[in-house]
Amino acid sequence: MNFLAFLAHLSGFIAPALVVGFILWVVPQWSNKGRVARWSHAIDLTALLAAGVGVLLAGLMVFGRDGKMVTYAALVLVQGTLAWWMRRR
């Protein structure tokens, strides 16, 4: 496997965490007019992405392969809970 193929596989592995994390980061900014986040936007996005990639890695270790629906359900649950916790007062 060459370097470009490795990057393609890595980006495909991380893509679900990026998409869900980005959606959970953008939507509250549009809907909460004037509500201040707990931390800066960069820290919010980084925490969501780190949690998502962590869940995907844990799913890969537990099941031995990528793409299990249980892993994706855990991804949404963990990132959604983290986004809720970061936005509550």
Percentage above 90 pLDDT, the chain: 62
Which of these, 87, 88, 80, 81, lies nearest to 20 by C-alpha position? 80
State which H helix or E strand residue 2 sits in. Answer: none
The tokens describing 44, both together, are: 């919010």
Residue-wise pLDDT for 60-74, tens only, equals 999 998 888 999 999
The two tokens of residue 23 are 């959606």
SS percent in the chain: helix, strand, coil, step 5: 80, 0, 20
Separation in Å, CA 70 to CA 75, 78, 84:
9, 12, 21
Residue spans per domain, the chain: 3-87
pTM of the model: 0.84
Q: Give residue-wise pLDDT tens across range 13-22.
A: 999 999 999 9
